[in-house]
Structure 1
Amino acid sequence: MIKISKTLFVFFITLSIFTFSFNSKKLYVPFIYQLTDINLNKITNYYTPKFLVIDYSKDGSDEKKFTYTEIKTLKTLNIKPLAYLSIGEAEDYRYYWKNSWYDDLPDWIDNENPRWTGNYKVKYWDKSWKKIIFNYLDKIISQGFSGVYLDIIDGYYYFSEKGYNTEKIAHEMIKFVIEIAEYARKKNKNFLIVPQNGESILKYDYNNKYLNTISGLGVEDLFYYKTNKNSKKYVESRLNYILKIKNSGKFILVTDYVYNPISPNKNIILNFINLCKKYNFLGYPANINQELNNISNALKYYK
């Protein structure tokens, strides 16, 4: 057995710690958006995002939800964690889903989303659904999240196409978001409310209450649809609303799915990053598969 002096042992330990610190420089990025296969240690070991949008749970289940300590650790690193919460669709892998619903859906659950198996459109104005969301919100608040990232705001489009009065159901969505904000802020006055997409709902926000309630906005596919650049007309039509929100003092999180791991296009990724910088948006160049099941390697272009 080889004997090592205490002095030499301390030297090797110090050297290894120094080497680890030297090789583990964190990359500061605007934000990261990941919903499955989440490893918080992996994120914090390599990145310091200003915002981190994640599911409330490691795998979507209530059993694997993140602890208060885990979320608090993110905040001590100056990361603002936002919990993903779909308010326009019910998800059959959530704690609230009942197996009996597969055979007999409640009146407030509509058709399954053909693009996302297991996601069902809901009549979001229904009291039964709202009760579920407020219960869900209680879990998120108790975990210590800085806020929520509300998905399917544009769910009113779906019901408009089914013959519902567009103005009325848009107002119902606005009302719902405001109710969520008021409910959460009774428990945490600084709780962030960040809707995703559906920015044109501002057309129906006659008294600016929705605008004044939200903390920021998340948008997808703004400049690019996957690796295809969107038309100038399309981008400008969305910016008309997005910039109104930005100019009212809110932050804008942009996720474009521009990173193809098989054949990365550096020019597209850098163009997306530069467009976000141009408008002072916080951009995330996500994986082209749109599944948000990993951390995009395109983040390296922020160096």
Structure 2
Amino acid sequence: MDHIIETEDIKKKYDEFLAVKGVNLRVPEGSIYGVLGPNGAGKTTLISMLCTILRPTGGRGTVNGYDIVRDARKVRESIGIVFQSRALDDILTGREHLEMHAALYGVPRDVRDRRIEEVLELIALGDKADEYVKTYSGGMKRRLEIGRGLIHHPRVLFLDEPTLGLDPQTRESIWRYIEKLNREEDVTVLLTTHYMEEADKLCDEVAIMSHGEIIKADSPGNLKRELGADTITVRVDRARGFHEILEKQDYVKEAYLMDDEVKVLVERGENLVPEIVNLAARNNYYVRAVELEHPTLEDVFIKYTGRGISEA
């Protein structure tokens, strides 16, 4: 499969701080690709280099076959960007925003009106196109920003935390629009997110990023299957001591200590919950709660970073 974005040992350093540490990324053409990690992981710095906003300190990268340093103008012509922070003018209408962006990107005047109507239909804002943006909801504003990034038929669309600050229902509607534009516009989408559910439901492939490094990359399904186990979370007093006991049990594949919780990876977890509760009782530990879960991306993140994404 062809890769529309590739990096080789790309780095970004600020004085003595290395924000991105030699990242190697391969994004298949036509995919929705997610970079998953907490705030401060280096996600925004990474895509800022790919968008030519920041110049790499070391390594190299290509977008749509163009070098992000030598061919920066060609890269910019190939991409659309939706930034994490809002960048809309409340006193313009939705249509005026799209007209302005179409002109800035050099969309020929004879195709501009038709393209604006196509984008308005794609983001379901046709009936609101001539209303001022200050009257839009948060979800409508985000859809307009995505539409603005699509106006010039980019090959790649970069979305930096596209649903940050939106309520769960609006977030899911944005996911549907992203899937729709990926399918109907034949555009590769690279998004950053710290929402596990967003990465799991939306992305064909996910790269887990922590402390400026890509730790693991694969499809969400493969990442979860790699764990090959259910997770039992035991909330208990004196968690550290119980963690040491659980580590010694033959049926425990791996055990992690998190505050007053112990997470263990096991096969056929539903059969082992009573055994773990009895083990705690025999050793005089008080169990406050027990939860059984099938593998999630949160578990994958913990496996490769040793902590939850909220802690990171």
TM class, shorter-chain normalised?
0.3 to 0.5
Q: TM-score, normalised to structure 2's length?
A: 0.32
- Which of structures 1 and 2 has the bigger CA Rg? 2
Where relative contact order (Cα < 8 A, 6+ residues apart) is larger, the structure is: 2
